[in-house]
Amino acid sequence: MPNTLKALSVLTAALLLSSVNISDAFSADSKRSGSYKTGKGKTGTYQSQSSRGDGQVSRNQSVTTQDGNTYNREVNRSYDKETGAYSSTVTNPQGNSRTTTGTMGADGTRTGTVTTSDGKTGTVSGSTVRNEDGSVTRSNSFTTEDGKTSTRSATTTYDKATGTANRSVTAPDGSTRSGSITLQKDAPQ
């Protein structure tokens, strides 16, 4: 795998780990930083700055790999509790973006439409379930405009005492990868 793809795989793993919803731990304007380790032993650091309010969150994230490469992404999300309507735009390190709009039910199910910056579209559906052991499982299904469907499932545990999130992801091909990220919260601004 070329170095760029390896780095992007590490970035994806770290950012997926960091996207765990820890709303009780991080609210209002906040900064987080920490380190990550993938299931393959790759390590690096992570930084995120978030601003929240009125059903919206903006987040700038940065990952630096053990090889010193730094990758950034920007996330902007909104959610209306009354209607269940949500919108999410993610811009990756190459400047490409994808916007998802749809509805989310009180039971954690969601459906929506995805549009990429190069005009491709698709549909997405998924669910979020809090398990008895305190972990959270998110399952997603994505169908492209030409009818190809892929699914992905991720289970995340979070240890408040250590600030460590552990995540296991099952990819569309059935392979599983895992990793952890240790977060540090700066004081709200």
Assign residue 68 a region: left if phi > 0, alpha if psi is -120 to 50, beta otherwise? left
Taking the CA of residue 144 as centre, how many other CA atoms within 13 Å lie in the half-sphere pointing to its CB? Answer: 6
Averaged confidence pLDDT in the chain: 83
Structure tokens at 4: 């760029």
Structure tokens at 122: 């698709």
Classify 3-185 by CATH class: mainly beta
Instruction: Give domain limits for the chain.
Output: 3-185
**In this predicted model, what pLDDT tens digit does every residue of 90-113 receive, in sequence order?**
999 888 999 999 999 989 899 999
**In this predicted model, what pLDDT tens digit does every residue of 125-161 receive, in sequence order?**
999 999 999 999 999 999 999 999 999 999 999 998 8
* Mean pLDDT value across residues 67-95: 93
